[in-house]
């Protein structure tokens, strides 16, 4: 018998194939390589540093404020083999790329060790440490190996792409760990409270715990899709006290309210809506005290579910406008003090048109935000023919390597004493209560 998750995946595959067949029959898919005059004119007007015009990921552009770090990233990413390898044979079919990313399982299947972390209000988040498929020892990361925190999308769906990135990082000597929000991905819900879209409180507690568990290691973070709203909010709210050395976002959602209100492709929204409802139904008894469960489980869109869950509560109802004043990902972006690489595709069908969904002014003015923009790649897809399937994963790992190299060079040039880890604040975090972490 198939599990509920398996049935959902099988239904999504069948619907995706049906959609593909219908599009081919109706002639609605673009022919690869058929670039119209309008698109060519748009490409000529694009901003940023064009550093890849050969075979591979296409005409990638890096939009950022000029700096020594930006020049170093252009050199490092321009030399990256991942950006030069063969592309997906259907570069102009972003919805197919999105379906491929959502449904493809990782290869090989990872081995995960789960750890539950208790929060100050008695809530719980789950940390899934990737330790295989090579066994409990993992890929050989030592005590000071960099810890890579992986943040899934806002629905808590851990995609095969995110797991694949974790496996690639494990092979390179990182210590990858997946952050699961309250009630997501099998994490128990011990309080009648879930985590709003851009509330970084639980993530802050998690980073503090990771710093105490790995005091001599650098902390890095990568988010996928709508999960980037949480990471961007954390970086802005924490500023120079984030304890992260660097961060990256794959196909981030920058403007949360606009994204929910604009609506999403049903091929993306429907599976995530079912995934969320399935998880929430497990805690119907506890959540019934604070929300209308019939209305919640009857939601027909992600916006309706978000509004019911966080705005129409029984104890503290609030307006949709007030909710987003507290949860917009970029509300404190000017305070961010950690380098952030955002990998985006111009044809992302989930984020929306670049002119409305990309905060280009932020990348022009802030020395910490870098936008790597490619014409084709879909949403979190960035596919390629070779094993690994996603060239963006290699670009992210190359970015982290380049960041470490740049900071080491700067330390030597300025004659600064070598810190215990690259990046992060100089002060040590407060003593952590180890009893709050339980059940490895």
Q: Which residues are catalytic?
A: 348, 379
In angstroms, what CA-CA distances link 51 with 84, 232, 390?
11, 26, 19
In angstroms, what CA-CA distances link 31 with 43, 142, 306?
18, 48, 37
CA distance 13 to 257: 29
């Amino acid at each position: 018998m198939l599990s509920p998750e398996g049935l959902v995946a099988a239904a999504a595959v069948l619907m995706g194939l049906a959609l593909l067949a219908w599009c081919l029959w109706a002639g609605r898919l673009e022919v690869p390589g058929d670039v119209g005059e309008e698109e060519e004119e748009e490409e000529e007007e694009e901003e940023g540093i064009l550093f890849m015009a050969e075979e591979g990921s296409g005409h990638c552009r890096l939009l950022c404020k000029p700096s020594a770090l930006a020049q170093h990233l252009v050199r490092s990413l321009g030399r990256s083999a991942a950006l030069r390898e063969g592309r997906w044979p259907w570069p102009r079919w972003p919805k197919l790329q999105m379906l491929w990313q959502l449904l493809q399982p990782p290869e090989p299947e990872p081995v995960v060790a789960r750890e539950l972390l208790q929060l100050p209000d008695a809530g719980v988040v789950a940390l899934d440490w990737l330790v295989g498929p090579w066994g409990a020892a993992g890929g050989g990361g030592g005590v000071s190996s960099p810890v890579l925190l992986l943040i899934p999308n806002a629905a808590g769906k851990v995609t095969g792409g995110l797991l694949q990135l974790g496996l690639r990082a494990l092979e390179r000597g990182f210590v990858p760990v997946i952050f699961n929000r309250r009630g997501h991905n099998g994490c128990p819900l011990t309080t009648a409270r879930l985590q709003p879209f851009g509330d970084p409180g639980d993530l802050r507690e998690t980073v503090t715990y990771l710093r105490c568990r790995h005091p001599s290691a650098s902390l890095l973070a990568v988010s996928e899709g709508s999960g980037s709203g949480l990471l961007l909010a954390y970086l802005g709210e924490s500023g120079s006290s984030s304890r992260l050395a660097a961060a990256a976002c794959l196909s981030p959602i920058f403007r949360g309210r606009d994204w929910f209100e604009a609506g999403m492709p049903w091929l993306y929204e429907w599976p995530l809506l079912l995934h969320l409802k399935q998880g929430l139904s497990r805690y119907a008894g506890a959540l019934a005290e604070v929300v209308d469960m019939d209305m919640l489980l009857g939601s027909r869109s992600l916006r309706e579910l978000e509004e019911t869950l966080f705005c129409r509560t029984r104890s503290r109802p609030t307006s949709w406008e007030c909710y987003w004043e507290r949860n917009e990902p970029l509300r404190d972006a000017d305070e961010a003090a950690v380098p952030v690489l955002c990998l985006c595709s111009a044809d992302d069908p989930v984020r929306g048109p670049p002119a409305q969904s990309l905060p280009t002014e932020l990348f022009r003015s802030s020395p910490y935000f870098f936008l790597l923009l490619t014409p084709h790649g879909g949403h979190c897809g960035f596919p390629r023919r070779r094993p690994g399937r996603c060239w963006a994963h290699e670009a992210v790992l190359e970015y982290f390597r380049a960041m470490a190299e740049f900071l080491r060079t700067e330390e030597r040039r300025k004659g600064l004493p070598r810190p215990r880890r690259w990046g992060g604040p100089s002060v040590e975090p407060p003593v952590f209560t180890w009893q709050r972490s339980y059940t490895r």
